[in-house]
Amino acid sequence: MELQEQQQAVFMPRIGDNAPEFTAKTTQGDINFPSDYTGQWTILFSHPADFTPVCTSEFMTFAVMHEDFKKANCELIGLSIDGLYSHIAWLRTIKEKIEYKGMKDVEVNFPLIEDISMNVAKKYGMIQPGESTTQAVRAVFFIDPKGIIRTILYYPLSTGRNFKEIYRTLIALQTSDEFNVATPADWEPGDDVIISPAGSCGVAKERMDDTEELDCKDWFFCTKKLDKDLVLDTLIKK
């Protein structure tokens, strides 16, 4: 591989960057990313190859959860370094033949990008040569309604992703934006949230004194209640 090609192959977008732009053919028609998705969240994810077992289990799981993501104003977009006809044949096989963990007759209705040229995969650091030079790793990009990358997850070829964690992360990001709070370890809607750190000695004292709304373990670690129904009613379409 030429040096320039190698550098391109390992280019890694970062949290806070604008999502790299691209146009692509997908199983749901052509897309212009991210402009076609302005105003909604997207989860852009890659998988190593069509017609492989871990990827099949992942696609079935994501497809079953697709409605939940849509209700949270989020569209899913898959990608692998395969052609459109391979994608179509694989998705037909999943629907017609594969039964797994109680899931069957599963239709994948979100777009799956053909990326034989690796154009998109290279822009998103999905080719990680130490793992494979011909297959994308299992990358997950959370992109917000303004087209900014907000979270990135990478998994190796051998390890299927946890889709409940992907959904939890989306809701946590939206909760932080909507309510101006941070979310602690393992947070789920209904759990207490963390308020931004005190920026002065005065605020630190006020916080320690406010025992009604806040629960301060110490001046730098204050939580407050955030009602589960308020979070869900705000973020999830009925």
Q: How far is the CB of 138 from ligand BEZ (least distance, A)?
A: 8
Burial code (b: 16+ CB inside 10 Å, e: under 16) for 50-87 equals beeebbbbbbbbbbbebeebeebbbbbbbbbbbeeebb
For residues 87 and 27, the answer to whether their CB atoms sit within 8 Å is yes
- Pick out residues in 119-148 that bind ligand BEZ (CB under 6 A): 135
Q: Is 201 helix (H, G, I), strand (E, B) or coil?
A: helix
The residue (of 9 and 173) whose beta carbon lies closer to ligand BEZ is 9
Query: By C-beta, is 82 or 144 nearer to ligand BEZ?
Result: 82
- Closest approach, Cβ 157 to ligand BEZ, in A, equals 4
Can you tell me the distance from the alpha carbon of 47 to that of 2, in angstroms, rounded to the nearest whole number? 25
- Decide if residue 54 touches ligand BEZ (CB under 6 A): yes
Residue closer to ligand BEZ (CB basis): 118 or 157: 157
Q: Of 33 and 45, which CB lies nearer to ligand BEZ in the complex structure?
A: 45
Residue 31 CB neighbour total at 10 angstroms: 18
Q: Rule CB under 6 A: say whether 55 interacts with ligand BEZ.
A: yes
Cα–Cα distance measured from residue 9 to residue 3, given in angstroms and rounded to the nearest whole number: 10
The label of the residue with tokens 């852009």 reads 44
The single residue among 48, 78, 111, 125 that binds ligand BEZ, judged by CB under 6 A, is 48
For 75, phi then psi, to 5°, come to -100, 145
Which of 25, 28, 40, 49: binder of ligand BEZ (CB under 6 A)?
Answer: 49
CA distance 142 to 140: 7
Judged by CB under 6 A, the residue of 4, 158, 200, 211 near ligand BEZ is 158
Question: Residue 121 CA to chain centroid, in angstroms?
Answer: 16
Can 55 be counted among the known catalytic residues?
A: yes
Counting residues that bind ligand BEZ (by CB under 6 A) gives 9
3-state secondary structure of 193: strand
C-alpha distances in Å from residue 170, one per residue of 74, 83, 231: 9, 29, 13
Task: Determine, following the binding rule CB under 6 A, whether residue 52 of this chain makes contact with ligand BEZ.
Answer: yes
Q: Residue 131 or 192: which CB sits closer to ligand BEZ?
A: 131
The interface with ligand BEZ within residues 72-101 (CB under 6 A) comprises none
Instruction: State the minimum distance, in angstroms, from the CB of residue 195 to ligand BEZ.
Output: 42
Q: How far is the CB of 209 from ligand BEZ (least distance, A)?
A: 55
Q: So which residues are the catalytic ones? A: 55
Q: Rule CB under 6 A: which residues touch ligand BEZ?
A: 48-49, 52-55, 135, 157-158
